[in-house]
Amino acid sequence: GDSVTQMEGPVTLSEEAFLTINCTYTATGYPSLFWYVQYPGEGLQLLLKATKADDKGSNKGFEATYRKETTSFHLEKGSVQVSDSAVYFCALRERGQNFVFGPGTRLSVLP
Amino acid sequence: DTAVSQTPKYLVTQMGNDKSIKCEQNLGHDTMYWYKQDSKKFLKIMFSYNNKELIINETVPNRFSPKSPDKAHLNLHINSLELGDSAVYFCASSQDLPSASGNEQFFGPGTRLTVL
């Protein structure tokens, strides 16, 4: 079945550091790929998405590029802020199927 | 306006009790979901439901049952609560098109269930 793998956390960075959270996936077809963010005490909210190979999703300074050849969708941000501290989930969805979420990666940004 | 709402936000109860969590979405979506999130933040889908089909994750105990009075609501009823049911439960919704995969899910704020 389909699956999503993320780098294990927690990830701890200083403010203004560069962020990468790795995500790789296994799918039988051509899924859409998503990054969701969960701030403390809240539900998940969509951060960005890409629906086909080579698409780049971006939002709030975060970016991720759909790489079909490496089955990856790594999340990057050039300069993190304390307010970016949250849990980040990579997810995929194939046509007619349910979402498949990764295990989440906790990010802590220190001032 | 809140897109997906859940009540209650916190629920503390004794083992063996029966409880319900309510979920409502005002997005006009045709599919709703229930997820369980454990203490390590791992998300597990429990049910997906639209007006045609209920899909149950086979690992979910039959003590858990979804009830949908209408398209905008999907409530979660839990019988004979156990200690291991303690978790955060999230409701979500999406507009599902069989030919597309890019529609996002919208999540509710979660219900933290504590079984004593």
How confident is the prediction along chain B (116 residues), in pLDDT tens digits per residue? Answer: 679 999 999 999 999 999 999 999 999 998 899 999 998 889 999 998 887 688 778 789 999 999 988 889 999 999 999 999 999 999 999 987 655 667 889 999 999 999 99
Coil, strand, or helix at residue A43? coil
B108 interfacial to chain A (CB closer than 8 Å): yes
Query: Nearest CA to CA, how far is A104 from chain B (Å)?
Result: 7
Query: Nearest CA to CA, how far is A32 from chain B (Å)?
Result: 5
Give tens-digit pLDDT for A38-94.
Answer: 999 899 999 999 999 999 999 999 999 999 999 999 999 999 999 999 999 999 998
Q: What is the DSSP string of chain B?
A: --SEEEE-SEEEE-TT--EEEEEEE-S--SEEEEEEE-TT--EEEEEEEESS-EEE-TTS-TTEEEE-SSTTB-EEEE-S--GGG-EEEEEEEE---TT---PPPEE---EEEEE-
Q: For A45, which of B40, B43, B107 is closest by C-beta distance?
A: B107
B104 interfacial to chain A (CB closer than 8 Å): yes
Question: A94, B101: Cβ pair inside 8 Å?
Answer: yes
A53 interfacial to chain B (CB closer than 8 Å): no
Question: B102, A44: Cβ pair inside 8 Å?
Answer: no
CA closest to B104 among chain A residues: A46
Give tens-digit pLDDT for A30-40.
Answer: 899 999 999 99
